[in-house]
């Protein structure tokens, strides 16, 4: 099972990190920091990191208010061509709330980025904290680029965009990128939280060995828990199966959300989430800032041929948390990446005394998994 390197490596300040391998072989990390998307690079398999670029500038909503930029993600869609995506929404929700998913393109390897392109947006005249969240990009099996995100945006009735009827449910959306237009196409519902009576959120997708894709989401239809982690499967990345549970807390009332999934070289899947189980690593009942990164690994390769029978029993939990900095520490908004023979796990770390340490990384040799 997972054996972690001793060192916990700081990538950058801030949090909500996502890591990719560039075509030049270097690692690139995107994260939220000081209301911007920051990029860092590593040329030694994640042992050391240097700041590379600030991808975004200060942005304002349609009413002139400064926007919060968060949920940073980065994707290399062609050689030397990068896309950063993020949510941009109102800071002040006392009277109105603006929400959007935006992305920017770079054709010089990330040295400069074009102006923000709005994928979806809505200005609300109330303080309902509903909106668009957590963009994630990936190649579809046919080679096109898709962007997935969560949508619990309660919008006007009879609108062209598929808004949810209430905050009790959430859609997972997907749009497909048009290379000629350098823009994403129309929204498609990939996972129907209205049908599931669930706030299905925080989508992350990866490819399966031999074809097809897997998606992980957090879901709250099982009222015994605040959130559980579920998985869906797809042949084309557009139409998805019904979700199945792969991780839930050991005790009622607890939380296992913000999932991530990646493919291991032998076809197994690694899944992570942040959970506040009574493990001794965290204290209290707050769903986020008393959570730590958990990792599970499938016991066998997961493919389109066997995915219909996958259950929670097909995964084994890591006995040690990857990022742990004391009795009351947290490790939240986790992500993973496979590179150079290692499973890289990263999360925003801090403690319950209000200290924020930044985005940290820990590695596990894949050969030992």
pLDDT class of 157 with cuts at 50, 70, 90 = confident
Contact 168, 197 (CB under 8 A): yes
pLDDT class of 1 with cuts at 50, 70, 90 = confident
Give the integer Cα–Cα distance in Å for 348 and 152. 24
Give the dihedral of Cα atoms 107, 111, 114, 120; nearest 10 deg.
90
Q: Is the dihedral of CA 115, 121, 126, 129 positive or negative?
A: negative
In a domain, 223, yes or no: yes
Say how far residue 22 (Cα) sits from the centre of its chain. 19
What domain range is 352 assigned to?
9-368
Q: Which residues contact 47 (CB under 8 A, 6 or more apart)?
A: 7, 9
In a domain, 1, yes or no: no
CATH number, position 299: 2.120.10.10
Contact 42, 342 (CB under 8 A): no
In a domain, 2, yes or no: no
In a domain, 53, yes or no: yes
DSSP 1-37: -----SPPEEEESSEEEEEEE-TTS-EEEEEE-SSSE
Quickly count: other Cβ atoms within 10 Å of residue 168's Cβ.
15
Contact 41, 30 (CB under 8 A): no
Closest residue by Cα to residue 88 from 42, 47, 121: 121
Contact 364, 293 (CB under 8 A): no
Q: 214-248 pLDDT, tens per residue?
A: 999 999 999 998 899 999 999 999 999 999 999 99
Residue 280 has pLDDT above 60, yes or no: no
Q: Which residue has the higher pLDDT, 54 or 155?
A: 54
Quickly count: other Cβ atoms within 10 Å of residue 58's Cβ.
9
Task: Classify 164 as helix, strand or coil.
Answer: coil
Residue 278 has pLDDT above 90, yes or no: no
Q: Which residue has the higher pLDDT, 328 or 33?
A: 33
Task: Classify 63 as helix, strand or coil.
Answer: coil
How many alpha carbons fall within 13 Å on the CB side of residue 69? Answer: 28
Average pLDDT over residues 62-78: 95
Closest residue by Cα to residue 191 from 224, 132, 233, 130: 233
pLDDT at 287: 63
pLDDT at 341: 96
Q: 174-211 pLDDT, tens per residue?
A: 999 998 888 999 999 999 999 999 999 999 999 999 99
Sole residue written with tokens 């959300």:
257
Give the integer Cα–Cα distance in Å for 332 and 183. 31
Domain count, the chain: 1
Closest residue by Cα to residue 257 from 313, 333, 206: 333
Give the integer Cα–Cα distance in Å for 204 and 181. 25
In a domain, 101, yes or no: yes
In a domain, 354, yes or no: yes
In a domain, 356, yes or no: yes
pLDDT at 283: 57
Contact 84, 111 (CB under 8 A): no
In a domain, 18, yes or no: yes
């Amino acid at each position: 099972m997972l054996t972690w390197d001793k060192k916990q490596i700081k990538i950058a300040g801030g949090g909500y990190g996502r890591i990719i391998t560039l075509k030049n072989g270097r690692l690139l990390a995107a994260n939220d920091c000081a209301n911007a998307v920051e990029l860092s690079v590593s040329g030694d398999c994640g042992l050391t990191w240097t700041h590379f670029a600030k991808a975004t500038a200060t942005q304002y909503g349609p009413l002139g208010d400064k926007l919060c930029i968060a949920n940073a993600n980065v994707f290399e869609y062609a050689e030397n061509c990068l896309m950063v995506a993020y949510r941009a929404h109102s800071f002040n929700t006392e009277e109105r709330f603006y929400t959007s998913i935006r992305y920017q393109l770079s054709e010089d390897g990330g040295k400069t980025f074009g102006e923000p392109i709005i994928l979806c947006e809505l200005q609300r005249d109330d303080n309902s904290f509903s909106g668009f969240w957590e963009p994630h990009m990936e190649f579809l099996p046919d080679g096109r680029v898709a962007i997935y995100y969560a949508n619990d945006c309660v919008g006007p009735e009879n609108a062209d965009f598929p808004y949810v009827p209430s905050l009790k449910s959430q859609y997972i959306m997907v749009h497909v990128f048009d290379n000629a237009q350098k823009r994403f196409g129309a929204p498609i519902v990939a996972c129907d939280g209205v049908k599931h009576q669930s706030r299905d959120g925080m989508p992350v997708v990866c490819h399966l060995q031999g074809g097809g894709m897997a998606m992980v989401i957090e879901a709250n239809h099982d009222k015994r828990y605040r959130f559980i982690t579920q998985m869906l499967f797809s042949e084309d990345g557009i139409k998805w199966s019904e979700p199945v549970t792969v991780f839930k807390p050991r005790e009622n009332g607890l939380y296992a959300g913000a999932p991530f999934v990646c493919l291991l070289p032998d076809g197994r899947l690694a899944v992570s989430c942040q959970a506040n189980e009574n493990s001794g690593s965290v204290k209290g009942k707050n769903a986020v800032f008393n959570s730590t990164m958990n990792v599970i690994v499938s016991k066998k390769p997961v493919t389109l041929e066997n995915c219909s029978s996958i259950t929670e029993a097909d995964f084994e939990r890591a006995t040690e948390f990857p990022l742990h900095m004391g009795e009351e520490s947290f490790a939240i908004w986790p992500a993973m990446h496979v590179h150079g023979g290692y499973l890289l796990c990263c999360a925003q770390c801090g403690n319950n005394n209000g200290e924020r340490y930044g985005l940290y990384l820990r590695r596990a040799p894949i050969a030992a998994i």
